[in-house]
A and B are shown apart, each in its own frame.
Chain A
Amino acid sequence: DTAVSQTPKYLVTQMGNDKSIKCEQNLGHDTMYWYKQDSKKFLKIMFSYNNKELIINETVPNRFSPKSPDKAHLNLHINSLELGDSAVYFCASSQARTGRKEKLFFGSGTQLSVL
Chain B
Amino acid sequence: DQQVKQNSPSLSVQEGRISILNCDYTNSMFDYFLWYKKYPAEGPTFLISISSIKDKNEDGRFTVFLNKSAKHLSLHIVPSQPGDSAVYFCAAKGNMDSNYQLIWGAGTKLIIKP
Q: Are A41 and B42 in contact (CB under 8 A)?
A: no
Q: Which of chain B's residues have a CB closer than 8 A to the CB of A55? A: 99
Q: Which of chain A's residues have a CB closer than 8 A to the CB of B107? A: 41
How far is B45's CA from A92's CA once the two chains are assembled, in angstroms?
Answer: 10
12 A-B pairs (CB sep. < 8 Å)? A41-B106, A42-B104, A42-B105, A43-B89, A43-B91, A44-B104, A55-B99, A97-B99, A103-B34, A104-B102, A105-B45, A109-B43
Whether a CB of chain A sits under 8 angstroms from the CB of B49 is yes
How far is B105's CA from A99's CA once the two chains are assembled, in angstroms?
Answer: 20
Whether a CB of chain B sits under 8 angstroms from the CB of A45 is yes
Q: Which of chain A's residues have a CB closer than 8 A to the CB of B44? A: 43, 90, 104, 106
Whether a CB of chain B sits under 8 angstroms from the CB of A81 is no
1/0 contact string of A101-114 vs chain B (CB within 8 Å): 11111111100000
1/0 contact string of A76-115 vs chain B (CB within 8 Å): 0000000000000010100001111111111111000000
Q: Are A56 and B101 in contact (CB under 8 A)?
A: yes
Whether a CB of chain B sits under 8 angstroms from the CB of A4 is yes
How far is B99's CA from A97's CA once the two chains are assembled, in angstroms?
Answer: 8
How far is B34's CA from A7's CA once the two chains are assembled, in angstroms?
Answer: 27
Size range of the chain B interface in the assembly: 20 to 34
Q: Are B102 and A45 in contact (CB under 8 A)?
A: yes
Q: Which of chain B's residues have a CB closer than 8 A to the CB of A106? A: 42-45
Q: Are B32 and A101 in contact (CB under 8 A)?
A: yes
- Shortest C-beta distance, B41 to chain A (Å), equals 6
Instruction: Select the residue from A42, A97, A99, A102 with max chain B CB neighbours within 10 A.
Output: A42
Q: Are B93 and A108 in contact (CB under 8 A)?
A: no
How far is B93's CA from A95's CA once the two chains are assembled, in angstroms?
Answer: 16
- Shortest C-beta distance, A56 to chain B (Å), equals 6
